[in-house]
Structure 1
Amino acid sequence: MKGTLVNTAAIVLGSGIGLLLQRGIPARYQETMMQAMALAVGIIGTQMALKSNNMLIVILAMAIGAVIGEAADIDGKLNWLGKWLGAYLDEKTREKGQNNIGNGFVTASLVYCIGAMAVIGSIQDGLTGDASTLYAKSLIDGIMAVVFTSSMGAGVAFASVSVLLYQGSLTLLAAAIAPILSDQVISELTATGGILIIGVSILMLEVKKIKLANLLPSIPIVTVIAYFWTVRQ
């Protein structure tokens, strides 16, 4: 799990630097930086979404995932978690809005955890001990943590826990799940993640309020559907 541990540390370090920079950056610069990052995240999501070879699989997974997520009220629970985390920060941070902590946590978690590098890198680390892909991802995530934290606050740092749990689990289960993750499955998984990341961009731009966390079940659902769809063929 050395790759995941390095990735987690990079996010924490980047978030710390971002918090330091945040204090010296005027609000209008932070807002413009947020918009710039939102556009960049949107492009990343679009590129990922176009990886699909069968959009019907993605649409079906998104529909089923939305029903499951809404029933479980994942978005509500994550917002509660954001407020709970905010209780441990100073009064000034809470006055700025506890939801910002939750938004930073959810946004960063999605960006860091969804994508081919997270999946393939974790499995590669678990099967062969080669963490080079996750090392490269660590550098990218660390830089993004600096920018995200300077714009969205301390919630981004808590995304390191999501990375540790998600990528760590994939690494530990690598031998078991590797046969399931064919090129077709990874393509549809990446495409579904890309659509969610486009949603992150929309939230960052404050264009529309989306219960994005309620769509997270689409990720495991698309993996299952794509796997059996491929087997059937």
Structure 2
Amino acid sequence: MIPYGTLVNCAAIIGGSIVGVLLRSRFPENIRQIVFQGLGLCTILIGIQMALKVENILILIFSILIGGIIGELLKLDTLFERLASKLKKMVKSDNSGFTDGLITASLIYCIGAMAIIGSFDEGIRGDATVLFTKSILDGFASIALASTYGIGVLFSFIPVLIYQGMLTIFAQTFQEWFSPEIIAQMTATGGVLILGISFVILEVKKINLSNLLPSLGVVIFLTAMFAN
């Protein structure tokens, strides 16, 4: 199965990032700052909406804690930074915000409920409507992010392609495994991580979100285990 929704999503990210980079030098600093603050506030709302879908708060809490420990032991943050640095060298970019832009954008685009639910919808029902809608949102977000971080945001299409593409194929193959409860718990856990992203965007607190990513896998395991 070809994940058309994900391919369109990647194209929107690339297009939005190019526009953002072209406009970067033309945006006054105060305009760029207020746009970024607005994006941060909207990210808070998205995170809260997702987190409120939780069905078992204890599973969510333990998933975040266990996932964070796993991420720290695996040193995922260091791994992602090294990969981003290698990519920066490959494209010969001298942009100081390349790594931050790549990682921040990747987290925003991959963790959200629309990435999970949209990929499942396309994989299980062959309906890419959610991902097409996400593409529009990500395209505009890419303009705002690229106008601040630079060209690194454009390359976030790579993890989006891998992550959403794999989810779509996985959902198609193992669709009977994913109950509404598992999807709700994954969405809620993603919402907590999205809230963390908003804190980083608004410069409230630096949170090591890369090392919390295993929480999304842990919540599937714990939810399935306790459901049975």
Question: Quick check: TM above 0.5?
Answer: yes
- Residue 172 of structure 1: which of 161, 169, 174 is its match? 169
Of 206-215 and 65-74, more deviation after overlay is shown by 206-215
- Aligned residues of 2:118 and 2:128 also touching (Cα < 8 A): yes
Classify the secondary structure of the residue corresponding to 1:179: helix
Where do 5+ consecutive residues of structure 2 fail to align? none
Structure 2 residue 123 is the aligned partner of structure 1 residue 123: no
* 1:209 is aligned to 2:211: no
The structural deviation recorded for 1:90 is 4.0
Distance change in 2, residues 1:128/1:49 (3 Å): closer
TM value normalised by structure 1: 0.90
1:7 counterpart = 2:9:
yes
1:48-59 correspondence runs (5 A): 48-59=50-61
Deviation of the 1:34 alpha carbon: 1.4
Give the AA of the match of 1:32: I
- The counterpart of 2:43, out of the listed 41, 46, 49, is 41
1:130-160 superposed Cα distances (whole Å, 9 cap, x missing partner): 2222111111111111111112222211111
Deviation readout 1:193-213 (Å, 9 max, x if unpaired) = 111111111111222222110
- 2:51 and 2:71 map into 1 onto residues whose CA distance is 20
Contact 1:12 1:160 in 2 (8 A): yes
SS of 1:42's equivalent in the other structure is helix
| Equivalent position SS for 2:177 | coil
CA RMSD of aligned residues (A): 1.5
1:102 CA displacement: 2.0
Letter of the 1:122 partner, please give it.
Answer: S
**Offset of residue 30 of structure 1:** 1.5
Tell me how far apart the structure 2 counterparts of residues 114 and 211 of structure 1 sit (CA, whole Å). Answer: 14
Residue type at the aligned position of 1:7: N
Q: Note the residue ranges of structure 1 that are not aligned, 5 or more in a row.
A: none
| Alpha-carbon separation, structure 2, partners of 1:119 and 1:178 | 13
Q: CA deviation at 1:86?
A: 3.0
Cα distance change of structure 1 residues 83 and 175 upon mapping to structure 2, 3 Å threshold: closer
Displacement after TM superposition at 1:116 (Å): 2.8
Measure, in 2, the Cα distance between the counterparts of 1:81 and 1:23. 27
Matches within 5 A, 1:193-232: 193-231=190-228
Aligned length: 225
Alpha-carbon deviations, 1:74-93, whole Å to 9, x = none?
A: 111212223333333444x2
TM-score, with normalisation over the residues of structure 2? 0.92
Q: 1:124 to 1:33 in 2, by over 3 A?
A: same
1:150 matched to 2:147: yes
- 1:55-90 Cα offsets, whole Å, 9 max, x none, are 101110111111110011111121222333333344
